[in-house]
Chain A
Amino acid sequence: MMRFLLLFSRQGKLRLQKWFMPMSEREKKKIIRDMTTMVLARQPRTCNFLHWKDLKIIYKRYASLYFCLAVESQENELLALEIIHRYVELLDKYFGNVCELDIIFNFEKAYFILDEFLMGGEIQETSKQIVNRSIEASDMLQEGDNSEWYEVELFG
């Protein structure tokens, strides 16, 4: 299972944090510090995998953001790279050419999208289209909820 997913900028500012295991605030802060230091110190043309304690850390840089995913030791690292890529694709589809500012100003949307893609440290939905449709339907529900409920059916 995945343990946590962190997004941070080149200056080490945290843009998103998703924890799949319960941890105290102090532990979270320490992990964030460790991850940002470790990943930001990596040379440009090195491999994307690191070892940290008993976890494997897979990181990838997209423009100005580092995506850092920690998985347990029996997980497939190459697939983890694909997971990160899939999440970026989902964000891209939703925001239209996503950039860091989109994620900063609409962080709650980034979380909602993540919650449709991953859950409990595992992949929830393997189809891009279905995730996108769910997000659109939820958004419509949110907009319409000032007046009345919309019942939205999802096909399939």
Chain B
Amino acid sequence: MSPSVPLQEMIRAIRSARTQCEERGVIQRECAAIRAQFRQVDNGARSHNLAKLLYVHMLGYPAHFGQMECVRMIASPRYSEKRVGYLGAMMLLDEKQDASLLITNSIKNDLSHSNQYIQSLALCTLACMGSAEMCRDLAPEIDRLLRASNSYIKKKAALCAVHIVRKVQDLGELFVPAARSLLTEKNHGVLHGAVVLITELCENNPETLERFRKTVPDLVQIMKSLVISGYSPEHDVAGISDPFLQVRILRLLRILGRNNEAASEAMNDLLAQVATNTDSTKTVGNAVLYETVLTVLDIKSESGLRVLAVNILGRFLLNNDRNIRYIAMTSLQKIVGTDHIAVQRHRGTIVDCLKDQDASVKRRALELSLALVSASNIRSMMKELLLFLSSCPLELRAQAASGIFNAAERYAPSQRWHIDTILHVLTTAGGDVRDETVPNLIQLITNTSELHCYTVHKLYRALLTDISQQSLVQVACWCIGEYGDLLLRGECQETEPVQVTEDNILDALEVVLQSHMSSPATRGFALTATMKLSTRITDNVDRIRSIVSIYGSCIDVELQQRAVEYNALFKKYDHMRAAVLERMPVIEKNSPGHTNGESAGEALKEVQPAKVKQGDSLLPQQPANQVCDLLDLLGSSDEHLQLRPAQGSTAPSLPSNTASTAGGDLLDLLGGFEPTPPAPAPQVPTLTVYDKGGVTLTLSCEKQSNSGLIVTLTASNSTDSDISGFTLQAAVPKSVQLHMKAPSGDFLPARGAAKVTQMVVLNNPNKVNLKMRIRISHGTQGSAFQDTVQIDSFPGLSVPGQ
């Protein structure tokens, strides 16, 4: 017999509205009627009106004008009105509303009402939306109810106490004695509430937790009676007696047994019993088993019990129900660090789960598989992971790719395997890999010089098949540009020989350049590679020239700049082209985090725009790698620099000039050659800074302004053979700016027949201690030579003082 007919009529009317607009109309009319009714004196239909308003609220319409009505209804003596009033309070009021304070008094009165159902309404509302002030106010009352009432009220009071403790931590102390005594109750509802309350108190306060450790035997007893006792129809769920209570007790035992040998010892037998006796055919049994496993793994259990727990998880993995497989994997994930060997036993099942239909299960299986990779199983695991990568859902690909890279890096059995694996990932999921994969791979390739031929062949073939994966294309272009000569040679030990002509290679690169699929960065790679090939191939240099000149009018500014500069390289500086485009040196491995690279990269941005970018500086990560060596050298000595008294010198930005392989001198190319600076004036003192292997470097400096200094470096060669490709690179402390002028040349004839001079302009606005490191490099008869010298004091500069 439902009294709320008017409510149901309204609901019917709203549901029969065919459009949103019609519905809104109906609701507006009803709300107006409700508002009018609220203003009237008590008319016996108040609860219906509020119920209607609550329905409207659930549909998403504003109902705040009902808040005061809730307050009034709660204060009514009629149960039906109180009931709806409290429901409205729980739905419309929360602790942030002012009106909620007004019901505190009503709740207080109702808590001591003679009728338990009215008491229960008050308790329920307090537990739902009681603010901190209300909780403080009513806590003693709740404590009283916890001790002296019937079980119906006691169980509700216990959960109310839980809410109070959550809101106001300090009040926890108040409920400890009552909570303790509630454990002796027989009523399951009360017992459950008591366990929840004790759990909350223990989590709240570690001292309370110590005190409640004494209850472990009691809890064990209660659990035992639940597990062993006969069929109890009132609490039975599919053969398990009160699984809700069992799970709660197990959770409390977990908290009490954590990090405590004695408590863990006391619950050992019980846990073993539950783990073996619980029926696991239905979900509810598995819920209890799951909680048991979590408890066993979290406390200080003995190893036999732990193995039992992991085996239960292993059984879960084979369960038909995918929910159970999922939670098994989440649990295994948590313990793979601590019980690694135990989890490894189930590796086969976990890897099989990679093929599961469910995306959540797949994700868990992926994380777990990556955690289980080790040096012994890397080959088989990688096969599975690569198979997974080719068919995995899109949202998992980035994670899978980076996981595979990490695993490959840590456990690669051979370089070739490593390169193969990375190439495989790039071909399958190249679009989802992180940005640093490209420079990492390039670095890996340059480091394995014996595989250059093999790598470039593989990459070339991959390029021919598919140019959509940007990372792969970038690496391929770089390698072809770098090792194109190996590609042309045709034979390669590790892979079948294939005849590749120069035209083929240039065709491939041109396809990349012209394709709409290539990103601007990729096209940059391709253009540079094309340019590099000009020194590695013999017949088609004209073709390269024409490609390069076409891109001189490209819309993309980056490509245009590169093309123009390469053109200049062809036209005006052809004699330097070989040196500029020669083989890259082996790149030093950066520490993870690439801190050096980043700082150098940022500094590079300050470079005056009109600088020629050489082969390596085009790959912004490359010069960072190179520069960082120099910066690294300086960075460590920065501290020393501060200790010394500051010297009054200045220098423009440093890394700009060091970002080149063999052409620090070319950095000023577009600015035109400066006339060779005259030999330093006799009155300026000269210092010999380097004298090794027949190469001598002298330095002289001249103060220019308050913070400016011009340093002139003069090199001469006293050996019997000529030195060609002679270059100097310089690095200075961070705040000092450096600007290297073009050197007079790069050829040092034998027996000091001629010298090479280079001017360096320094600007030291912060007046830090001026130091300079100079790297000397030259290529005599094809072998590269490099050496570094540090200059700590500059002749002619005023010493300590200013």
CB contacts (< 8 Å) of A134 on chain B: these are: 117, 120, 152
Separation of A17 and B193 alpha carbons in the complex (Å): 23
Question: A interface, how many residues as a size bin?
Answer: 35 or more
Do residues B4 and A119 form an inter-chain contact, with CB atoms below 8 A?
no
B237/A78 in contact, CB under 8 A:
no
Known: A24-B96, A105-B8. Is A120-B160 also a contact (CB below 8 A)? yes
- In the bound complex, do residue B117 and residue A137 qualify as a contact, i.e. CB atoms below 8 Å apart? yes
Q: B360, A142: Cβ atoms under 8 Å?
A: no
Closest chain A residue to B128 by CB distance?
A: A120
For the complex, what is the distance from the CA of A84 to the CA of B78, rounded to whole Å?
A: 32
Alpha-carbon separation in the docked complex, A134 to B3 (Å) = 19
| A104 in contact (CB, < 8 A) | yes
Measured between beta carbons, the chain B residues less than 8 angstroms from A46 are 322, 357-360
Which residues of A, 10-53, contact B by the 8 Å Cβ criterion?
A: 14-17, 20, 22-24, 29, 45-50
- Interchain nearest-CB distance for B369 vs A (Å): 18
> With A108-B54, A122-B159 known to touch, is A82 a contact of B243 (CB < 8 Å)?
yes
Whether A54 sits at the interface, judged by CB under 8 Å, is no
Q: How far is the CB of A79 from chain B (nearest CB, A)?
A: 4
Residues of A near B359 (CB, < 8 A) are: 46
| Segment from B268-276, B280-288, B620-628 that makes contact with A | B280-288
The answer to whether the Cβ of B247 comes within 8 Å of any Cβ in the partner chain is yes
Q: Complex: how many Å from CA A14 to CA B58?
A: 7
Q: A120 contacts B163, CB within 8 Å?
A: yes
- B11 near A108 (CB under 8 angstroms)? no
* Stretch of B79-87, B417-425, B463-471 contacting A (4+ beta carbons < 8 Å): B79-87
In the complex, what residues of A have CB within 8 A of residue B242's CB?
126
Q: B152-191, CB under 8 A of A: which get 1 and which 0? A: 1001100110110000000000000000000000011100
B385 at the interface (CB under 8 A from A): no
Nearest CB on A from B800, distance (A): 60
A92 within 8 A of B: no
B189 touches A29 (CB 8 A): no
For A127, list chain B residues within 8 Å (CB).
Answer: 188-189, 234-235
The answer to whether A63 has its CB under 8 Å from any CB of chain B is no
Are B244 and A82 in contact, CB atoms less than 8 angstroms apart?
yes
How many A-B contacts at CB < 8 Å in the complex? 159
Q: Which of A106, A120, A137, A138 has the most C-beta atoms of chain B within 10 angstroms of its own C-beta?
A: A120
- In the complex, what's the smallest C-beta–C-beta distance from A12 to chain B, in angstroms? 11
CB distance from B368 to the nearest CB of A (A): 15
Verify if B690 is at the interface (C-beta below 8 Å from A): no
B residues less than 8 Å from A119 (CB atoms):
123-124, 127-128, 156, 159-160
Q: Is the interface of B mostly helix, strand, loop or mixed?
A: helix
Whether A125 contacts B155 by the Cβ 8 Å rule is yes
> In the complex, how many angstroms separate the beta carbon of B281 from the nearest chain A beta carbon?
13
B532 at the interface (CB under 8 A from A): no
- Quick check: is A149 within 8 A (CB to CB) of the other chain? yes
Q: Are A29 and B60 in contact (CB under 8 A)?
A: yes
**Is B361 in the interface zone, CB < 8 Å from A?**
yes
Q: Does A88 contact B (CB under 8 A)?
A: no
Asked if B2 lies at the interface with its beta carbon under 8 angstroms from chain A, I say yes
* Nearest opposing residue in chain B for A108, CB measure: B51
Chain B residues with CB under 8 Å of A20's CB are: 128
**Residues 127-139 of chain A, each 1 if its beta carbon lies under 8 Å from chain B, else 0:** 1111000100110
Q: Which of B323-331, B511-519, B654-662 binds A? A: B323-331
B562-574 vs A, Cβ < 8 Å mask (1 yes, 0 no): 0000000000000
* Binary contact track B315-355/A, C-beta < 8 Å → 1, others 0: 00000001111110000000000000000000000000000
Separation of A47 and B515 alpha carbons in the complex (Å): 43
Residue ID in chain A nearest B187 by CB atoms: A156
Identity of the chain B residue whose Cβ is nearest the Cβ of A20 in the assembled complex: B128
Q: Which residues of the other chain, A, contact B322 by a CB distance below 8 angstroms?
A: 45-47
Asked whether B152 lies within 8 Å of A154 as measured between CB atoms, the reply is yes
Residue A112 at the B interface, CB < 8 A? Answer: yes
Q: How far is the CA of A143 from the CA of B79 in the complex (A)?
A: 9
A22 surroundings in chain B (CB, below 8 A):
94-96, 129
Q: Which of B80, B284, B326 contacts A145 (CB 8 A)?
A: B80
Question: Do residues A129 and B234 form an inter-chain contact, with CB atoms below 8 A?
Answer: yes
Among residues of A, the one whose C-beta sits closest to the C-beta of B161 is: A120
- The residue that B87 contacts in the complex, of A74, A112, A126, with Cβ under 8 A, is A112
**Contact among A47, A123, A126 with B326 in the assembled complex (CB-CB below 8 Å):** A47
A126/B327 in contact, CB under 8 A: no
- Cβ of A111 within 8 Å of any chain B Cβ, yes or no, is yes
Contact call A120/B162, Cβ cutoff below 8 A? yes
- Given A47-B361, A76-B290, residue A126 in contact with residue B192 (CB < 8 A): yes
Residues of B within 8 A of A142 (CB): 3, 79-80, 83
Nearest-CB distance from A137 to chain B (Å)?
7
Given contacts A20-B128, A112-B87, A156-B151, contact A124 B189 (CB under 8 A): yes
Instruction: Contact check, B115 vs A124: say whether CB atoms are below 8 A apart.
Output: no
**Nearest CB in chain A: distance from B120 CB, A:** 8
In the complex, how many angstroms separate the beta carbon of A150 from the nearest chain B beta carbon? 9
Q: A149 CA to B234 CA in the complex, in Å?
A: 30
Cα distance A135–B291 in the bound complex, in angstroms = 31
**Contact A152–B243 (Cβ < 8 Å):** no
Minimal Cβ-Cβ distance residue in A for B282: A82
Contact call B286/A78, Cβ cutoff below 8 A:
yes
Q: Is the CB of A17 within 8 A of B58?
A: yes
* Distance (whole angstroms) from the CB of A135 to the closest CB of chain B: 10
The reply on B1 being an interface residue by CB < 8 A is yes
**Complex CA distance for A3 and B503, rounded to whole angstroms:** 67
Bound-state Cα–Cα, A63 to B681, Å: 97
Residue A81 lies at the interface, judged by CB distance under 8 Å to chain B: yes
Contact A126 B360, beta carbon cutoff 8 Å: no
A5–B160 CA distance with the chains assembled, in angstroms: 19
List residues of chain A with CB within 8 A of the CB of B637: none
- CB-based contact B247/A79 at 8 Å: yes
Bound CA–CA A154/B116 (angstroms): 9
List of B residues within 8 angstroms of A152 by Cβ: 117
Given contacts A77-B327, A82-B237, contact A154 B150 (CB under 8 A): yes
Q: What separation, in Å, do the CA atoms of A112 and B360 have in the docked complex?
A: 35
In the complex, the answer to whether A50 meets B127 with C-beta atoms within 8 Å is no
Q: Which residues on the B side are within 8 Å of A104 (C-beta)?
A: 11, 15
| Complex interface: chain B residues within 8 A of A115 (CB) | 87, 124
Task: Give the chain A neighbours of B115 by CB distance below 8 A.
Answer: 141, 149, 151
Contact, CB under 8 Å: B326 / A49: yes
Q: Which residues of A contact B697 (CB under 8 A)?
A: none
**15 additional contacts, CB 8 Å, given A78-B284, A79-B247, A154-B152?**
A20-B128, A22-B96, A45-B357, A50-B360, A76-B247, A76-B287, A77-B323, A82-B283, A86-B237, A124-B159, A126-B235, A126-B245, A134-B117, A152-B117, A156-B187
Query: 7 tightest A-B contacts by CB?
Result: A78-B287, A120-B127, A145-B79, A120-B163, A22-B94, A125-B189, A79-B287
6 residue pairs of the A-B complex, CB under 8 angstroms, read A22-B94, A45-B357, A47-B326, A47-B361, A78-B290, A142-B83
Q: Which residues of B contact A (CB under 8 A)?
A: 1-4, 8, 11, 15, 51, 54-55, 58-60, 78-80, 83-84, 87, 94-96, 114-117, 120, 123-124, 127-129, 150-152, 155-156, 159-160, 162-163, 187-189, 192-193, 196, 234-235, 237, 242-245, 247-248, 251, 283-284, 286-287, 290-291, 294, 322-327, 357-361
